[in-house]
Copies of this chain bind each other. A is one copy, B any other.
Amino acid sequence: MAGKEARSQAFGAHLPPVLIRQSVEAALIEDLGRAGDITSNATIPPQAKAKAVLATRQDGILCGMPLAAEAFWQIDPEIEFKIEADEGDHISAGDVVAKLSGDARAVLAAERVALNYLMRLSGIATYTARYQAEIAHTEARVTCTRKTIPGHRAFDKYAVKCGGGSNHRFGLDDAILIKDNHIAVAGGVKLALQRAREWAGHLVKVEIEVDTLDQFREALSGNPDVILLDNMTTDQLSEAVAINRADNAGRVVLEASGNVDLDTIRAIAETGVDYISTSKITMAASTLDLALDIAISD
């Protein structure tokens, strides 16, 4: 795949290609520094060619190929990059996900940056998929938070989606989430919700966080789009679900958070909540091990 196809593919993957371009350029500058790949410059002749196979060494979910492709393209648009697997695919140790060929020094210069994106994003996707698999028998979806690596919000959230998770808001600006401080200053749940509705445009959802059932009932009467049930027991969560169904035809979306991990998420999902949010899928995910096997001919 030449550079143009890589960019097309990036778009198909739902990531804005302009974000990809800027992020990868910064990453390459960071790795190549002021002198470039001095090892290859010293040891590999300019005319050498490389053939390489990009493969996974672990089972998981593939994510990040448009960023990897862009890394090679920015170093040398002549590198051929043939993608062999789709974003979100389940991949098994040994699977080839792409084949490359081109200038040997160029392939080596882009290798680490490409892999760093792939390993990080596939790691998030894979870890998300494990959470989602635990609750596949329910209607609940695991969802991320704003706890992401600075500068990687778009990519981290994209990886969550590739892993089968759902996305919470992307920033402070695209949805309202009222927390305890806002409630206190606004003068209570009702007033906070009212001010939110007045301020926000009609394309903005309003969520409110509660940590007791009393607060929950008060919030429910204020008619938010979503209620976040924080740090509740599964009994409390079940009761909240029941109240919502009884009083409100289940119209308010319920999200649970707090103490979510691979051991607890199943029970939380079985209470009937709609979404379960956790920072673990973005902040505690190990990377997935992918590598580039390269053969060089000069």
* Interface residues of A, Cβ cutoff 8 Å to B: 3-5, 7-8, 11-12, 14-19, 21-46, 48, 74-78, 103-106, 108-109, 112-113, 115-117, 119-120, 123, 143, 146-154, 157, 166-179, 181-186, 192, 195-196, 198-205, 207, 225-226, 253, 255, 274-275, 279, 283-284, 286-287, 294, 296, 298
What CA separation (Å) do A284 and B38 show in the bound complex? 27
Contact A168 B274 (CB under 8 A): no
Q: Is the CB of B36 within 8 A of A170?
A: no
Which partner residue on chain B sits nearest A106 by CB separation?
Answer: B11
**B296:A287 contact, CB within 8 angstroms:** no
Within the complex, the shortest CB–CB distance from A40 to chain B, in Å, comes to 7
Q: For A45, what are the chain B residues with a Cβ–Cβ distance below 8 Å?
A: 185
Contact (Cβ within 8 A) B42 A196: yes
Given contacts A36-B172, A150-B152, 18 further A-B contacts (CB under 8 A): A7-B77, A8-B77, A14-B36, A19-B32, A27-B150, A30-B154, A34-B153, A42-B196, A43-B186, A43-B199, A112-B147, A112-B172, A116-B148, A167-B203, A168-B201, A169-B201, A175-B203, A202-B275
Check A185/B109 contact, CB under 8 A, given A32-B18, A43-B178. Answer: no
In the complex, which of the residues A116, A168, A284 has the most CB atoms of chain B within 10 Å of its own CB atom?
A: A116
State which of B113, B119, B169 has its C-beta within 8 Å of the C-beta of A203.
B169
A275 → chain B, closest Cβ, in Å? 6
Q: Answer whether A207 and B203 are a contact pair too, CB < 8 Å, given A77-B7, A173-B35.
A: yes
Q: Are B169 and A149 in contact (CB under 8 A)?
A: no
A187 nearest CB across to chain B (Å): 9
Partner pick for A29 among B19, B35, B76, B179, CB 8 A cutoff: B19
CB distance A74 to B4 under 8 Å? no
A35 touches B152 (CB 8 A): no
Docked CA distance A24–B241 (Å): 40
The 10 listed contacts between A and B (C-beta, < 8 Å) are: A8-B103, A11-B103, A12-B105, A21-B25, A30-B171, A34-B157, A35-B154, A112-B172, A151-B151, A203-B205
